């Protein structure tokens, strides 16, 4: 689905498919899933029988046959409109699924056999555990984990984000998704899913609505609607002998019309559409919800627990500052640090070169082509280069550099330890830089907080959501990152079981907890949380444990998801209020029309001054049918959510949808009565 079409409620293709779907859903086996609308379908079938066999119910007469036909036609369109609402919601999901299916191509996979040979097979034949080699310009044939190599990967087919991302073996950023493109270099992947079970396959099934189950709130509301329907059916059944006692003949079709008007058909027809539309809105924010229950639970979230590395921070320690020791110019430190990092392809090395360039360094890699490169190793704890003119440039841990300088009979600056401790206290990593036997200063590496988080956490705080950061760092480092990110609390030196304990503690207090993470060690906590949101950049284990996957890997996406969840609950409640309030107006339209002839005093209840009993009943029935398609845009878009107290929100919705639900039918039924009464007069009704 294109971005232009995403913003449209109904495109031409969706409209065509929805009309066809509305007719297909008339199948009684399908309609039985919605008891309220199934009652309407039974009523429609009885009215059709009355048209051809009126003597079965003692409903004789040509005018009554016409009346039965009109009631049957209105009921038929009521069913179509209700089915159309659900079909439109499903159609939008299927349109998104078609876009994803275009991504799912039958690509060729280069499988690496145990003897090292390569064999080319169809991606559809790949099995879990296969090792696949993917080179630049090739499509990744299936979900997997990188076991060797590093590559730049274009994930725009899945995420919509055009900027490629770097993925490499090891750590929490080794997971890749089938259908994405390797832009540069090469990688070896171990396939982690069997055919038909990939992440993309699951996404397609979910956005199509095929895997959608009714949520607890939806089931509870459905039970309420069924209960109201049964109550009104009992009322209608008792009404017939009461009318007979008053010598009032009420036709079967009129009783059916009364039943359909009084049972909550409006919300019954829109209930499924509201739920499907909620998941659709989440999908448009590039979040895949594994169930409607997860979306619904987001509306009630009280606490959000976030992993630090890769979620709140970028996960790589990057150069942020150069601190020269006494007697050394900052420019000299910057240039030498840049030289030491020219051939360091780690994120730390690259960020050092980038920061040096930003600060005015003119060091060029082409001027240092003929140098001896000293790779970092766990044994030496330092790296650097030996230039062709004999200078030895190094950067590394303080103890390693100090030992190196001592071997060369150099001196350690007095303020070096103070600068190293200063960085350590801030939660950073100090890298000491030296040239030959001289120490020049320290590179301050820090785990950088993602931009804009503090402002977004403040928005979460305003809607009553507490944020807690979990990290394995020491308390000092954790406090520094927590203050910079703006979270409400933090848990330092946190182990996987500590995250689960924190979630259970909040849940024991009756709170709904959301957990956002990306690593394998986050998987147990993601499974324990009421709402588990895994970053798409994270591991397969994290994505499988969560009930939502954020394709953009943005931890604060929960803010939008929470608002969508609240909007879903508010929409459902508002339209239920509107539907039940409608019944009040329909009561004043139909009941007086039925009994005024026998009980003239009931004319006082005919406050709409409807033309005749037939006109009153048919006007109410027509309004009952057309209000469903009129509310489809609201059901799809959702009632606007604004942060406010529950009591204020209840009062606002009661005023708009409660009072509005009473007034709207009075106006609508009266206007329909004015339009159809001349036609009914011509038909003798």
| For helices 199-208 and 265-284, angle between their N-to-C axes, nearest 10 degrees | 150
- At 353, give phi and psi (nearest 5°): -65, -45
**Cα angle 657, 661, 664; round to 5:** 125
Which residue(s) pair with 188 in the sheet? Answer: 133, 148
Q: Please tell me the number of Cα atoms within 13 Å of 505 on its side-chain side.
A: 9
Cross-sheet strand order for the sheet of 466-470:
287-289, 548-550, 531-535, 512-517, 301-307, 466-470, 489-491
The label of the residue with tokens 């601190």 reads 323
To which residue do tokens 């200078």 refer? 391
Number of Cβ within a 10 Å radius of residue 607: 13
Cα gap 252→130, rounded to integer Å: 67
DSSP label at 325? P
Residues serving a catalytic function are 307
Whose CA is closest to 393, among 404, 384, 382, 380? 384
Residues 6+ apart with CB under 8 A from 392: 384, 386, 435, 436
**Which residues contribute to the annotated binding site?**
344, 348, 376-383, 395, 518, 522
CB of 204 closer than 8 Å to CB of 100: yes
Largest Cα separation within the chain, whole Å, is 119
CA-to-CA distance for 187 and 6, rounded, in angstroms?
34
Per the DSSP assignment, residues forming a β-bridge with 449 are 313
**CB distance 441 to 319 below 8 Å:** no
Q: What is the DSSP letter of 399?
A: H
What's the CA gap between 442 and 396, in Å, rounded? 9
Q: Which of 564, 493, 501 lies closest to 529, judged by CA?
A: 501
Q: Assign 139 to helix, strand or coil.
A: strand
* Order of all β-strands in the sheet with 372-374: 313-324, 438-449, 429-435, 392-396, 382-386, 372-374
Task: Please report, in angstroms and rounded to a whole number, the separation of the first and last CA atoms in the chain.
Answer: 50
């Amino acid at each position: 689905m294109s971005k232009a079409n995403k913003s449209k409620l109904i495109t031409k293709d969706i409209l065509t498919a929805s009309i066809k779907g509305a007719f297909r859903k008339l199948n009684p086996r399908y309609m039985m899933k919605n008891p309220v609308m199934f009652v309407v379908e039974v009523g429609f079938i009885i009215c059709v029988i009355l048209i051809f066999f009126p003597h079965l119910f003692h409903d004789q007469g040509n005018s009554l046959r016409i009346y039965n036909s009109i009631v049957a036609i209105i009921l038929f369109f009521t069913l179509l409109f209700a089915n159309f609402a659900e079909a439109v919601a499903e159609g939008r999901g299927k349109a998104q699924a078609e876009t994803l299916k275009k991504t799912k191509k039958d690509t060729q996979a280069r499988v690496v056999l145990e003897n090292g040979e390569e064999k080319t097979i169809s991606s559809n034949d790949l099995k879990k555990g296969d090792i696949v080699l993917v080179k630049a310009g090739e499509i990744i044939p299936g979900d997997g984990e990188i076991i060797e190599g590093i590559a730049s990967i274009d994930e725009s087919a899945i995420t919509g984000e055009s900027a490629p991302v770097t993925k490499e073996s090891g750590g929490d950023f080794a997971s890749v998704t089938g259908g994405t493109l390797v832009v540069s270099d090469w990688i070896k992947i171990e396939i982690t899913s069997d055919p038909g079970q990939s992440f993309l396959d699951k996404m397609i099934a979910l956005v199509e609505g095929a895997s959608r189950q009714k949520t607890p709130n939806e089931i509870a509301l459905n039970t309420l609607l069924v209960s109201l329907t049964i109550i009104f059916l009992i009322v209608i059944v008792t009404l017939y002998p009461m009318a007979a006692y008053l010598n009032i003949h009420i036709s079967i079709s009129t009783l059916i019309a009364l039943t359909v008007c009084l049972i909550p058909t409006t919300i019954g027809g829109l209930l499924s559409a509201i739920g499907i539309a909620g998941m659709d809105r989440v999908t448009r924010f590039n979040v895949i919800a594994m169930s409607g229950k997860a979306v619904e639970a987001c509306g009630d979230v009280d606490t959000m627990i976030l992993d630090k590395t890769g979620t709140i921070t970028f996960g790589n320690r990057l150069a942020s500052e150069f601190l020269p020791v006494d007697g050394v110019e900052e420019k000299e430190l910057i240039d030498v640090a840049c030289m030491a990092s020219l051939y360091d392809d780690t994120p730390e090395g690259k960020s050092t070169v980038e920061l040096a360039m930003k600060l005015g360094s003119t060091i060029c890699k082409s001027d240092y082509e003929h140098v001896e490169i000293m790779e970092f190793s766990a044994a030496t704890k330092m790296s650097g280069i030996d230039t062709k003119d004999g200078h030895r440039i190094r950067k590394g841990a303080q103890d390693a550099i100090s030992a190196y300088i001592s071997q060369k009979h150099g001196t350690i600056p007095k303020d070096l330890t103070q600068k190293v401790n200063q960085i350590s206290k801030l939660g950073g990593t100090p890298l000491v830089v030296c040239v030959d036997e001289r120490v020049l200063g320290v590179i301050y590496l820090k785990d950088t907080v993602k931009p804009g988080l503090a402002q977004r956490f403040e928005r979460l705080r305003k809607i009553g959501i507490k944020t807690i950061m979990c990290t394995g760092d020491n308390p000092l480092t954790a406090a520094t990152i927590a203050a910079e990110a703006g979270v409400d609390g933090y848990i330092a030196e946190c182990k996987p079981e500590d995250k689960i304990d924190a979630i259970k503690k909040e849940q024991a207090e009756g709170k709904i907890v959301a957990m956002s993470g990306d690593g394998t060690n986050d998987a147990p906590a993601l499974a324990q949380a009421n709402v588990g949101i895994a970053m798409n950049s994270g591991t397969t284990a994290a994505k499988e444990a969560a009930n939502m996957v954020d394709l953009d890997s943005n931890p604060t996406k929960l803010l939008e998801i929470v608002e969508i969840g609240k909007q879903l609950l508010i929409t459902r409640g508002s339209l239920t209020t509107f539907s039940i309030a409608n019944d009040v107006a329909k009561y004043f339209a139909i009941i007086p029309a039925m009994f005024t002839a026998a009980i003239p005093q009931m004319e006082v209840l005919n406050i709409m001054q409807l033309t005749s009993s037939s006109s009153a009943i048919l006007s109410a029935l027509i309004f009952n049918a057309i209000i469903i398609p009129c509310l489809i845009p609201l059901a799809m878009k959702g009632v606007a959510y604004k942060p406010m107290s529950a009591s204020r929100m209840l009062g606002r919705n009661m005023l708009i949808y409660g009072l509005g639900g009473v007034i709207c039918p009075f106006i609508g039924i009266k206007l329909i009565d004015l339009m159809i009464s001349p036609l009914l007069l011509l038909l003798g009704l």
